[in-house]
Amino acid sequence: MRKFLFAVVVFLGGVVLPGFARDAGAAISLEKCTLCHGKPEFRKLLVDGAIRDLFVTGDSLKGSVHEKKGCTDCHFDVNEIPHRERPKRVTCTHCHYKGNREGAPQSDNVLAYFDSAHGKAIAAGNAKAPLCQDCHGSHQILKVKNPESKVSRFKVAETCGRCHMEIYAKYKTSIHGVALSKGIADAPSCTGCHGEHRIYAHTDPKSTVYPTRVSEQCSKCHASVAIMSKFGIETEQVATYNESFHGVASKFGSRTVANCASCHGVHDIRPPDDPLSTVNPRNIPKTCGKCHPGANANFAVGKIHVDAKKKESGIIYWTATFFKYLTICTMLALIVHIFLDMYGRTRRLRGER
Amino acid sequence: MAEKDQRIADGEAVEKEIEAALAERLSGLPSEQADAVRDKIRRRVQEEVERELRIRAASDRKEAREKEKQVEEGEKFVRFNRNFRFQHMVMFTSVILLIITGMPLKFPDFVLSRFVIGFWGGIQNSTIVHRIGAGMLIYFMVHHFLYTVLTRDGRRDFVLMIPGLKDARDIALNVRHFLGKTSERPRFGRFSYIEKFDYWAVYWGCVIMIGSGLFLWFETDVMQFLPKYAIDMAHEMHSDEALLATLAIVIWHFYNVHFNPDRFPGTLLWWHGRLTEHEMKEEHPLEYEEIMARRAGKPPEVAGQ
């Protein structure tokens, strides 16, 4: 009996205690860790002469989403203090997966990341490709909504720019970058167009910026009167593009036909009155000339996003109107003639005159 | 009988000639070998002559049958000559190609559009097919223009195609006839007002479509001289006239030549170009009378008008 009770206690202890023990263990380990890591001068001189700062205190996680976690919750390969080897890079998937019981958000983002251009590069052995902590930070991970977060709307471009420097430089002076730096939250940052975890190369059909999907991506904001009216930008550009040959061919899967970015630029989009803009009338011959060799200044004479249904389109509107009434009148006359013919035949079939 | 004798005599003459040629050719060979070769050749020639005779007999029978048929149905009148039929075939082939590759671009959201473009293997290919169709239509236009200018039939038909007062009267009369106000039907000449409308509609359509189409095809070259809005105008014309032409063909032309109870499901006039005497009297009485009058050596009473 005693033996049995002992066995039950050990079993229950094995089930319940780790739950309690974790916090206690973490607290202990934090104290133990800061024995060395808590010294501000605690650092390591690397082979290449660089210095790796190893200073960590109990405050390092304070305010972050992992505030309540301890060192070994993430650095779980440290099981003796002092550790003999350098701990491995933290594996976020330990907690961050759908169905986890650690209290991490229930999200499949990690799977999306593995499928993305960045995840694929890591899998292919590219040491420069980013892992979770390269974008989200290591100890000071904050929620996206927190403006101080490295992946917040206003800061994410800077984060991406740490690797994509040239693109960041272009973006920063573009209309979207400038608007964002002025604090306009409607302006898209990198993730606004490229997506967050699901970032693919623009040559990958899954990408949100794949040639045939660019217009769809831009129209998310540019077709919205609610957003565009704030800035006095017309929303008809989307509809007129979709009706143009460029838009239709793109819809049918042409990857060579012009999409929004082909003319307006990609990261360096600027308003048309900016002399550096690709759609500034003075730059139009060059921009159109990318696909239409020999394009000249005539390409800029007349509205580009022309809508034949609007009176402002002038001669194009009148052409459309002429053909509209020509078609209606002609077809009406022809159809009336057909019905009269059928009516006459019916009468004669009935034996009438 | 005399014809048959002639044919036999022909055959004999041919055989004699062959014998002579053979004798000359085989003179150097030993007699056994020469006999074998001669035998072989003779058999082959005989086979060929027999086959030729069989073919001739068949064509004779066919001719006889047609003559018999002609007696039954009356005389056949050639309405469209071979040249004109060829033009029509080129035109409808090209127009069908143009419509099925062009309409999806006007209605990209229509469910069939994606399928039709996919049928050609994507937009890159369908635009090439559209240009092939365009090339055929341009060829047709040039061909028809030369036909109108250079051939007698072409010149005559062009003049007869010009609308006149009679056509207005015919329309009014026909409408009254449809409504049952009168039992009198308009008596058409070679071309009724319906056919004249079709002809001039195609003329107008070709000019607009080819003109604006060339603008769109060679947009960069055109914009060396004209502003961009000229291209936009051409685009609008091309798109709108395409719809009008398609509707006119599918509703009007198809009703008149296919769905109309007199013709359903369509005649082979576009293929053989002939009308029977009955059809001629029914549909083109004035032309019929004119032909009859010309045959009788009398001046036609109501030529054209």
Distance from CA of B224 to the nearest CA of A (A): 7
Q: Which of A248, A323, A338 sits opposite B105 (nearest CB)?
A: A248
Please state, rounded to an integer, the average pLDDT across all residues of chain B: 88
> Is the model's pLDDT at A27 over the cut of 80?
no
CB interface of B with A, residues 194-223, below 8 Å: 216, 219-221, 223
Lowest mean pLDDT among A41-50, A252-261, B206-215, B238-247: A41-50
Q: Do A316 and B219 touch (CB under 8 A)?
A: no
pLDDT band, residue B89 (cuts 50/70/90): very high
A contacts of B180 (beta carbons < 8 Å): 344, 347, 352-353
Please give the pLDDT value at position A9: 60
Contact B226 A298 (CB under 8 A): yes
Confidence of residue B5 (pLDDT cuts 50, 70, 90): low
Residues of B in contact with A245 (CB under 8 A): 105, 216, 235
What would the mean pLDDT of A265-286 be, rounded to a whole number? 92
Residue A321 has pLDDT above 90, yes or no: yes
Q: Is the pLDDT higher at A45 or at A24?
A: A45
pLDDT given for residue B304 in this prediction: 43
Q: What is the pLDDT of residues B15-24, one digit of tens each?
A: 788 778 777 7
- Per residue in B217-234, pLDDT (tens digit) is 999 999 999 999 999 999
Question: Which are the contacts of A86, defined by CB distance < 8 A and separation ≥ 6?
Answer: none
Which one, of B192, B240, B197, B238, lies nearest residue B219 by Cα?
B238
Which of B127, B220, B226 is closest, CB to CB, to A292? Answer: B220
Selection from A212, A217, A218 nearest residue A249 by Cα: A212
- Considering only the beta carbons, identify the residue of A254, A293, A341 that sits closest to B124: A254
Decide if B123 touches A, using CB distance below 8 A: yes
Helix (H) or strand (E) holding B78: strand B76-78
Q: Does B129 touch chain A (CB under 8 A)?
A: no
What mean pLDDT comes out for the span B84-89? 95
Task: Average the pLDDT over A193-201 and give the result.
Answer: 90
What Å distances lie between residue B186 and B162, B177, B192, CA to CA? 18, 9, 9
B9: Cα separation from own chain's centroid: 42
pLDDT above 90 (res A78): no
Q: What is the pLDDT of residue A101?
A: 84
Question: Which position has the higher pLDDT, A30 or B191?
Answer: B191
Please report the pLDDT score of residue A2 as a whole number: 66
Q: Does B179 touch chain A (CB under 8 A)?
A: yes
Q: What is the pLDDT of residue A105?
A: 86
Whether residue B184 lies within 8 A of chain A, CB to CB, comes out as: no
For the purposes of burial, counting CB atoms within 10 Å of the CB of B230, is it exposed (0-12), middle (13-18) or buried (19 or more)? buried
**Is the Cβ of B103 closer than 8 Å to some Cβ of chain A?**
no
pLDDT at A185: 87
Question: Would you state the pLDDT for residue A33?
Answer: 83
Does the distance separating the beta carbons of B175 and A319 come in below 8 Å? no
CB A222, CB A228: distance < 8 Å: yes
Q: Give B-chain residues touching A335 at CB under 8 angstroms.
A: 251
Q: What is the mean pLDDT of residues B97-113?
A: 93
C-beta separation of B189 from A351 below 8 A: no
> Residue A313 and residue A302: Cα distance in Å, rounded?
9
Partners of residue A295 in chain B, C-beta under 8 Å: 220, 223
Greater confidence (A273 vs A58) lies with A273
Q: What is the pLDDT of residue A262?
A: 92
Q: Determine the pLDDT at residue A222.
A: 92
Amino acid at position A52, single letter: R
CB-closest option in B230, B240, B261 to A327:
B240
pLDDT per residue over B232-270, tens digit each? 999 999 999 999 999 999 999 999 989 888 888 888 888
With CB atoms and an 8 Å threshold, state whether B244 touches A323: yes
Nearest to A252 among B108, B225, B241 (CB): B108
Q: Give the count of beta carbons closer than 10 Å to the beta carbon of residue B155.
A: 13
| Residue among B233, B241, B258, B264 with most chain A CBs within 10 A, to mutate | B233
Question: Domains, chain B, ranges and CATH?
Answer: 2-73 (no CATH), 76-295 (1.20.950.20)
Where do runs of H (alpha helix) occur along A244-300?
A: 245-251, 260-264, 284-289
- Min CA distance, B151 vs chain A (Å)? 32
Q: Residue B272 and residue B176: Cα distance in Å, rounded? A: 34
Which of B224, B229, B255 is facing A301, going by the closest CB pair? B229
Mutation pick from B229, B249, B262 vs chain A, by most beta carbons of A within 10 Å, is B229
In this predicted model, what pLDDT tens digit does every residue of A176-186 receive, in sequence order? 999 999 988 89
Nearest chain B residue to A350 by CA: give it.
B180
Asked if the Cβ–Cβ distance from B175 to A338 is below 8 Å, we say: no
Evaluate if residue B10 carries a pLDDT over 80.
no
Look at residues A205, A179, A204 and name the one whose alpha carbon lies nearest to residue A192. A179
Range in A60-74, A310-324, A330-344, B202-216 the model is least confident about: A60-74
B-chain CB neighbours of A340 within 8 Å are 175, 178-179
Q: What are phi and psi of A53, to 5 degrees?
A: -75, 125
Chain B CB contacts of A306 under 8 Å are 229, 232
Residue A267: how many other CB atoms lie within 10 Å: 20
Amino acid at A307: D
* Residue A240 with chain B: CB contacts under 8 Å: none
Q: Is A258 helix (H, G, I), strand (E, B) or coil?
A: coil
b/e map A294-320, b = 16+ CB within 10 Å = ebbebbbebbbebbbeeeebeebbebb
- Rounded to a whole number, what is the distance in Å from the CA of A194 to chain B's nearest CA? 26
**Cβ-based contacts of A301 with chain B (< 8 Å):** 227-229
Please count the other Cβ atoms lying within 10 Å of the Cβ belonging to residue B124.
16
- The minimum CA-CA distance between A314 and chain B, rounded to whole Å, is 9
